[in-house]
Chain A
Amino acid sequence: MARIIAELVREPIDAAAAAAALGAPGAGAVVTFVGTVRDQNRGRAVTAMEYEAYLEMARPLLAELAAETAARFRLEGVVLIHRLGRLAVGEAAVFIGVASAHRAEAFDAARRLIDTLKERVPIWKKEHYADGSAWIDGEGSHGA
């Protein structure tokens, strides 16, 4: 059984601790991805990013995504953490970590986790600028 952690958190993500939580002695490959808040988007300076989730729906979908990806890629471990609330530029919004026997599966699984998370999990973000703010429409259009 793969070790699986899937969480929505409000406190800062500790990437080192999250990677350590993968704890998979049988894994020859560990891939981690950290998505951070950028200081600009579409030509506008971004001062902060605010994340909102439909918690009751997002939590089970995140867990399901982690479990389904672990099974499909035969992973030893999956850690999937998304932060909510208001984040400053440079802060980690999402952490993805996978451990597997070989590197190909690890890279593919990490890529699929972030892509599917953005497509399926009900989380939204609002960019803040020096002079206002705007919701950023996602690409997620269905639950498949």
Chain B
Amino acid sequence: MGPMETKILTLKFFAGIREALGMAVLRERFGDDVRTAGDVVRFLESRFPAFREAAPRLLMAVNLRYAHPATPVADGDEIAFFPPVGGG
């Protein structure tokens, strides 16, 4: 077995979830076990209680496009998490 494949993802948080976590950006290295946006959600839920609490309501985007838990993620991707949008 060679070394585990790793990917570095940029995770961004906006509005209420940004404030609840106390951070806007997190750059994190992941292994082979993280392949989808849903895997990233599970990582964040296990790491941050505030994320776990908010998660059911959050939307996400992968590389600036709305995404769902099955959306694949790859090295260098930007994944954003935010509450339901509503400007105006």
**Which of A's residues lie within 8 Å of B, judged by CB?**
35, 51-54, 56-57, 60, 82, 93-94, 114, 117-126, 135-143
5 extra interface residue pairs, beta carbon distance < 8 Å, beyond A124-B82, A137-B16: A122-B61, A124-B16, A124-B86, A138-B85, A140-B59
Number of A-B contacts (CB under 8 A): 81
Q: Say whether A137 contacts B65, CB under 8 Å.
A: no
Question: Which bracket fits the contact residues of B?
Answer: 10 to 19
Q: Mark B3-35, 1 if CB is under 8 A from A, else 0.
A: 000000000101110010000000000000000
Interface SS of A by simple majority: mixed
**Which of B's residues lie within 8 Å of A, judged by CB?**
12, 14-16, 19, 57, 59, 61, 64-66, 80, 82-88
B81 to chain A, nearest CB (A): 10
Q: List 29 A-B contacts (CB under 8 A).
A: A35-B88, A51-B87, A53-B87, A54-B12, A54-B61, A56-B64, A57-B61, A57-B80, A82-B87, A93-B88, A114-B88, A118-B86, A122-B14, A122-B61, A122-B80, A123-B86, A123-B87, A124-B16, A124-B82, A124-B87, A125-B87, A126-B15, A135-B16, A137-B86, A138-B83, A139-B86, A140-B84, A143-B61, A143-B65
